[in-house]
Structure 1
Amino acid sequence: MAFGSRATGKHRGPSRLSRKSANVAGIAALATTGVVGTLAGPAFAATDADSRGPEDTGLNAVVVADDLAGQIEAQAESQQAAAEIAAAKAQAENEARQRAAEAKAKAEAKAKAEREAAERAAREAERKRLLTYVAPVAGSYVSTSYKAGGSMWSSGSHTGIDFHAASGTSVHAVGLGTVVEAGWGGAYGNNVVIKMNDGTYTQYGHLSSINVSVGQRVTPGDQIGLSGSTGNSSGPHLHFEARTSADYGSDIDPLAYLRSHGVSI
């Protein structure tokens, strides 16, 4: 019987040798891509491809771009947050300044109102004081009444009232007025005549000294001199007259005059 190569039929698989050759060829092919080298162990790991770095397949660029976009977005969000914080801080500071300005304005308005009220009260108090009348000698009494008769008065009667006062006692203007006479007055001795704010006149006689001058403005209670016994006087006292004019003979009841202006004597 003759031997020869048998043709591989349609339904016959490859021989063991053929399969082995194919496996060897496949391993060789895989070795060229580095896969076998990876599986084989460290001795085959280092290839030229590894030394050149990872293969650029296009995915690396996408990853880098995505990471950069994330960083930009994070930075934008951080900047926006910082801007919002700065805006909130600026708004809070502005509101605080507005509140401080409003509080200051209110305080100034209150202080102004209080100052104006105090000024009005002071003006009113001064107005009342200027309209007030006082006794010419504090704590004294009338020692000789108005129209008392006697030979010691040239007219035959007393044209004023006498207040008991030791020599050197303070004599006061009874109200607001202007000095029209200050000096020697004959029988009145050293005397002062004041034109009062209401148009009447008051006279202060027998003074030991005078503290005012003609034209001087006086207010209630101002000291105009000291009591004495100058002129036609029987002893230290204050002669006080009220007149409708500066002239002698225009006298009116001085006690009634003082009482009509609120002075209690």
Structure 2
Amino acid sequence: MAFTRPTGKHRRPSRLSRTTASAAGVAALTTTGVISGLAAPALAAEGSSAEYAHTGLTQSISIGDSLADEIDAQAAAQKQAADEAAAKAKAEAEAKAKAAEAKRKAAEAKRKAEAKAKAEARAKAEKEREAKERAARAAERKRLGSYVAPIDGSYVSTGYKTGGAMWSSGSHTGVDFHAASGTQVQAVAAGTVVEAGWGGAYGNNVVIRHNDGTYTQYGHMSSLSVSVGQTVTPGQQIGLSGSTGNSSGPHLHFEARTGPDYGSDIDPVAYLRSHGVNV
């Protein structure tokens, strides 16, 4: 006898359904006499027909259940493997994401540290620059406020108030610094030139008004390097020594005054020493 199944999609019956169906099928076959007719010789040769009929049915059901269990186990193993693969992939993805985030944070921290270091370096450089500028300004103020001798390395050859017929007032209104012709003459302090040119008995002379309101005069020069209205700094060249005007030989006549004109003279050596010049 052949058994047919309608076409279409079917689900594999559960173990309980398979067992029930198998039992029902065997019962049907027994009722129709198919199993009885087919198994009669074997049953007659081996013993009781009921015992052998029951034994054959049990083997058939056991083989079917074993195959179904194996398929279920394989499906469960495949599902477990798929779940484990998915979990592993997820863990790897999370690890990569964490590593990428850690790398990003490290890069950001490095960038911030470098930016901070650069900013600190710029601030330090700026402070150093400002400090240097302040020091330079202070040094310049000090230099501008300083005094020097009118001729470097010279000495006083004729003192202040020395008497003699050479001077119309009867005495020397300044001091003479020893100097060969053409020696550099320099301003003793910062100031503004108020006279530059021929000064009669003084020959070629320069008069400078200084920042403290005092004046200095430089006479008998062979040439001049400044003009009226020009500002000068301590040590700046204003001309070259000579023997012009009422002079007995090359030297520099130097006066310190309270005003720009003749007759307002003060002791030039004391004046220079009061400003720290060693003469």
Shorter-chain TM-score bucket reads 0.7 to 0.9
Q: 2:90 aligns with which of 70, 76, 83?
A: 76
C-alpha displacement at 1:144, in angstroms? Answer: 1.1
CA shift digits 1:136-193 (9 cap, x unpaired): 0111111111111222212222111110100000101001111111111111111111
Q: Secondary structure at the match of 1:230?
A: coil
The reply to whether residue 263 of structure 1 matches residue 277 of structure 2 is yes
**CA–CA distance in structure 1, aligned partners of residues 186 and 51 of structure 2:** 145
Which one has the bigger helix percentage?
Answer: 2
For 2:130, the equivalent position in structure 1 comes to: 116
Relative distance call for 1:28 and 1:215 in structure 2 (3 A) is same
Letter in 1 for 2:167: W
Unaligned runs of 5+ in 1: 1-13, 36-53
Q: Relative to structure 2, which stretch is displaced further, 241-250 or 55-64?
A: 55-64
Q: Secondary structure at the match of 2:227?
A: coil
CA shift digits 1:32-70 (9 cap, x unpaired): 99x8xxxxxxxxxxxxxxxxxx87955544333332222
Q: Where does 1:1-265 land on structure 2 (aligned, <5 Å)?
A: 17-19=45-47, 57-265=71-279
- Amino-acid identity (%): 62
CA shift digits 1:69-114 (9 cap, x unpaired): 2222111111100011011111111111222222222222222222
Q: Secondary structure at the match of 1:119?
A: helix
Letter in 2 for 1:17: A
CA shift digits 1:103-137 (9 cap, x unpaired): 22222222222222222222222221111111001
Q: Relative to structure 2, which stretch is displaced further, 59-68 or 166-175?
A: 59-68
Unaligned runs of 5+ in 2: 1-41
TM-score normalised by length of structure 1? 0.78
**CA–CA distance in structure 2, aligned partners of residues 242 and 142 of structure 1:** 14
**CA–CA distance in structure 2, aligned partners of residues 215 and 23 of structure 1:** 147
C-alpha displacement at 1:19, in angstroms? Answer: 4.0
Contact kept, 8 Å, 2:43 with 2:52, in 1: the verdict is: no
C-alpha displacement at 1:218, in angstroms? Answer: 0.9
Q: Secondary structure at the match of 2:194?
A: strand
